[in-house]
Structure 1
């Protein structure tokens, strides 16, 4: 018994096959672009249902296109099973084509499984007719049709995988072409499988549910079209949303590429663009603008001691304060670390930029609370003007940077306007930073010792260790010049350890020669003082040298002590508990109050030398401060040392105020180690036996040595 094909339904099956193929290609691309991994299983399942319905519809319409001279029906259970097989094959196809890499082995395995599933769908659908006698198949045609199904599946998988990315040229045209190829392969497999079926003469269809083939084909086609077109519409909406997301992502990436991630300020790239625009505008108007290079003072010590989290919070606050200090025409950018740049446009004269710099210094110097910690920072600012100090962004930033270094060397918390000679200073700073590494290893550093004296008896009460650097080409480099460089370069801790070892070596030498024991004061940089393991680090060095802790006093500056009051208090207590004494240096130059003396429990206060110069000028400021400090310190059992004593008038005033100790050129300049050894040796000949310095009460009455006249 032979049948005939309805040409219209055959064409309709081909159209459905094409639509299903195109949906498959689009689905593989949509799944590949899916951002959320959690949504992938849902999309994969929905896509498999849609694609499976399309393939099954093509098969079923193809079945309906074949008419026999008898009434034909289809068993519902077997027909539903064929649909499930189509969906399963589609699931395998989408999972393979939308993820991972398509190796040759993976292509073969997935293509074979998918082709077998499609073939099983076809022959299950044929079996749903329940013909009696049963359908006989031509074996070689069946095998060949399964081979065609597997080959078609492999081709479909490869095409879908290849065309899944959205950045291919002429993507839509390529996907349409791939869909045509896949549709012809799938329908070809179907009709080739149909040709393998042989119906015996007088066969009957035993399945129920006789329906008109044309109406059934129309219903199946409408259902498949609705499913497939709905899927494509959903994919289109998803693609539109994805495109919008990509546009937002691109805008975000552009923003991140031009702005600092921490402070949201423009970065160096955006800064260079703004300066270039300002240059064009000012060249046209023959006007000027300024570049302010800002570097925070003391930020590194805060960052190292309190952690990068606190440092980042501090930078965010500083960035916001810089924004507030600007006019609407200005711009502030962050270069990195604690460096910021402000572009000040529409200047009438240079003083306008200086006014902005003063406002920045004022805002930044205000107390900042971070995580409950009261902190203070200041800034050093360098100012360069266009066109006087540079014709492009690089030159202007270089000039402003050089001026900023000059501000650092000028005492910090100030600003400097660029001058040509500053280029030489900046170059020298870079040279010193480079050579400081060598100096530490090549023996260019040395220690000098400056004695401290009792005001009442003019006897030696102790000595301060001072670092010196003799550069082989530049000669003596002042500590005020190379210590800030060591702090910025990160060498200060290594240099501090060297100083402590050298001091201990000299103490051991003095003890070996049986010289009178005296206390040696060692200066701690703010960065050293804020190192988390400072006390244990000092203990290890002192223990290795075999020196008693009571022989050492550590001096910290007032500004370093006030950076983190709570931590300063704990560190001082930890040092004193181990037998060291602690002094506050340069007292009166910062922003502390006399009330802090009681809280910190210093053993010694060193009054800054600027107050001594005020005594010579007949000023009341230095005398009043000395009187107040001496009175309070005596009540708290803290010694007071006046630094920078250089004249007889200063000495007489200190005597009248009953100051404890003094230090300065009037009595002794800093002495090299060998000269100080001779000084101690000569003085020792006139010293009577007295108690060890370590037996003296903490902070009071250290043994003194009479000065040899």
Structure 2
């Protein structure tokens, strides 16, 4: 029977290479967009996570269909538009879920494994859902092919997220990008290795049919957008971050060095359109709010134009210690300390600040300063 005839297939080498490049671009764009989110507000984090999820998920989908456009079969076949769109939404959803876990939960080995597993399963869900969109051609799978695809997808994506998010350095982002791009690329072709194709005569369409030509236009457009995001992110990635200072005229005439540190006794804050100053001894804690910070005192909360990085640099000679990527505290105002597994919490008796988190990396130093 014609419907059960196993079809020979091959791939276009150029489109195979193009699919790998698309996977790499999506990984780099997604991982780079989320760098430094801990220093941003919750609203900004959510927006950037959405953009990163679109980059990662859209890249996974684009990579798959660039590779499918390179699939050469001896018959004419189409794609169901509704199912094809659903596969893209699945990829974006799982990428967004993983990023939310990484940026709103305590980042531990377990959360890295969970995020990588979610994306690994999501890549396969997108792949097999996308394959089910084929009309006049049916994909048949083997148990061995399915097992290899699941194991490789989860293992490689766990490795990618562990590298890219274990340490948020530029080096780790690049290495994580390489592993992620290879993961998406390899999983697709491992799954194809365990797949056979047969011709069928009946249509099972949910939505309108899409030809390879129309699909190619959609993939080109999505890849074009991804390329633009990749280039813009790359420019930002390669440009060193500039400190948030008012103007060059406000800089000291002699640049500070290790031998000539800046001794800061006051911290500027904005109020009623004016810049005022407060003694550092009256500030209990400093918290990052996007590119700026808030100063917490016994009487209230003040807005400061310094970033948390600049505050840390300028207050090196002061009483403050770093407890978290987003917090500096004055130990004199700490009223209590609580150990929570591999991190902790400092308690305050302030109207606008009850407690400050202590990250695992800062736990030992904070305990030594507090004497606990």
In the alignment, is residue 60 of structure 1 matched against residue 59 of structure 2? Answer: no
In the alignment, is residue 144 of structure 1 matched against residue 148 of structure 2? Answer: yes
For 1:243, the equivalent position in structure 2 comes to 242
Does structure 2 retain, via aligned residues, the 8 Å contact 1:74–1:130?
yes
For 1:366, the equivalent position in structure 2 comes to none
Does structure 1 retain, via aligned residues, the 8 Å contact 2:34–2:48?
no
Distance of aligned partners of 1:261 and 1:177 in 2 relative to their CA distance in 1, 3 Å threshold: closer
**135, 149, 166: which is aligned to 1:162?**
166
Distance of aligned partners of 1:71 and 1:97 in 2 relative to their CA distance in 1, 3 Å threshold: same
- In structure 2, distance between residues paired with 1:67 and 1:205: 21
**5, 8, 13: which is aligned to 2:11?**
5
In the alignment, is residue 176 of structure 1 matched against residue 174 of structure 2? Answer: yes
* TM-score w.r.t. length of structure 1: 0.33
For 2:211, the equivalent position in structure 1 comes to 211
The C-alpha deviation readout for 1:376-427, integer Å capped at 9, x for no partner, is xxxxxxxxxxxxxxxxxxxxxxxxxxxxxxxxxxxxxxxxxxxxxxxxxxxx
For 2:195, the equivalent position in structure 1 comes to 197
The C-alpha deviation readout for 1:545-566, integer Å capped at 9, x for no partner, is xxxxxxxxxxxxxxxxxxxxxx
Deviation at 1:35, TM superposition (A): 2.1
Does structure 1 retain, via aligned residues, the 8 Å contact 2:76–2:136?
no
- In structure 2, distance between residues paired with 1:186 and 1:247: 44
- In structure 1, distance between residues paired with 2:46 and 2:211: 37
For 2:352, the equivalent position in structure 1 comes to none
- In structure 1, distance between residues paired with 2:123 and 2:67: 14
Deviation at 1:196, TM superposition (A): 1.9
**106, 111, 121: which is aligned to 1:106?**
111
Say which SS state the counterpart of residue 38 (structure 1) adopts: helix
The C-alpha deviation readout for 1:511-558, integer Å capped at 9, x for no partner, is xxxxxxxxxxxxxxxxxxxxxxxxxxxxxxxxxxxxxxxxxxxxxxxx
The C-alpha deviation readout for 1:20-52, integer Å capped at 9, x for no partner, is 1111221231434x4222221121112211221
Distance of aligned partners of 1:247 and 1:69 in 2 relative to their CA distance in 1, 3 Å threshold: farther
Does structure 2 retain, via aligned residues, the 8 Å contact 1:79–1:124?
yes
**59, 80, 89: which is aligned to 1:84?**
89
| Structure possessing the higher radius of gyration over alpha carbons | 1
- In structure 2, distance between residues paired with 1:176 and 1:156: 10
Structural mapping, 1:479-628, within 5 Å: none
Deviation at 1:247, TM superposition (A): 8.8
Structural mapping, 1:276-291, within 5 Å: none
The C-alpha deviation readout for 1:640-688, integer Å capped at 9, x for no partner, is xxxxxxxxxxxxxxxxxxxxxxxxxxxxxxxxxxxxxxxxxxxxxxxxx
Does structure 2 retain, via aligned residues, the 8 Å contact 1:75–1:130?
yes
Deviation at 1:108, TM superposition (A): 2.9
Deviation at 1:59, TM superposition (A): 0.9
* Count of paired positions: 257
For 1:122, the equivalent position in structure 2 comes to 127
- In structure 2, distance between residues paired with 1:197 and 1:179: 27
The C-alpha deviation readout for 1:208-254, integer Å capped at 9, x for no partner, is 645345x7446513422323532652685599696342798x979x9
- In structure 2, distance between residues paired with 1:10 and 1:205: 30
In the alignment, is residue 233 of structure 1 matched against residue 239 of structure 2? Answer: no
Does structure 1 retain, via aligned residues, the 8 Å contact 2:63–2:185?
yes
The C-alpha deviation readout for 1:117-158, integer Å capped at 9, x for no partner, is 1111000000000345x4321112112101111112211211
For 2:35, the equivalent position in structure 1 comes to 29
Distance of aligned partners of 1:256 and 1:210 in 2 relative to their CA distance in 1, 3 Å threshold: same
Distance of aligned partners of 1:2 and 1:162 in 2 relative to their CA distance in 1, 3 Å threshold: same
Unpaired runs of at least 5, structure 1? 268-307, 310-709
Say which SS state the counterpart of residue 42 (structure 2) adopts: coil
Distance of aligned partners of 1:120 and 1:261 in 2 relative to their CA distance in 1, 3 Å threshold: closer
For 2:186, the equivalent position in structure 1 comes to 188
- In structure 2, distance between residues paired with 1:194 and 1:56: 15
Structural mapping, 1:420-459, within 5 Å: none
Does structure 1 retain, via aligned residues, the 8 Å contact 2:26–2:60?
yes
- In structure 2, distance between residues paired with 1:120 and 1:145: 11
Does structure 1 retain, via aligned residues, the 8 Å contact 2:29–2:229?
no
- In structure 2, distance between residues paired with 1:98 and 1:21: 17
**74, 77, 80: which is aligned to 1:72?**
77
For 1:223, the equivalent position in structure 2 comes to 222
Distance of aligned partners of 1:245 and 1:96 in 2 relative to their CA distance in 1, 3 Å threshold: farther
Which structure has more relative contact order (CA 8 Å, sep 6+)? It is 2
Structural mapping, 1:296-375, within 5 Å: none
**46, 51, 60: which is aligned to 1:46?**
51
- In structure 2, distance between residues paired with 1:161 and 1:141: 30
For 1:14, the equivalent position in structure 2 comes to 20
Unpaired runs of at least 5, structure 2? 1-6, 269-275, 281-297, 300-372
- In structure 2, distance between residues paired with 1:191 and 1:36: 40
**97, 100, 104: which is aligned to 1:95?**
100
**135, 141, 155: which is aligned to 2:139?**
135
- In structure 2, distance between residues paired with 1:7 and 1:251: 56
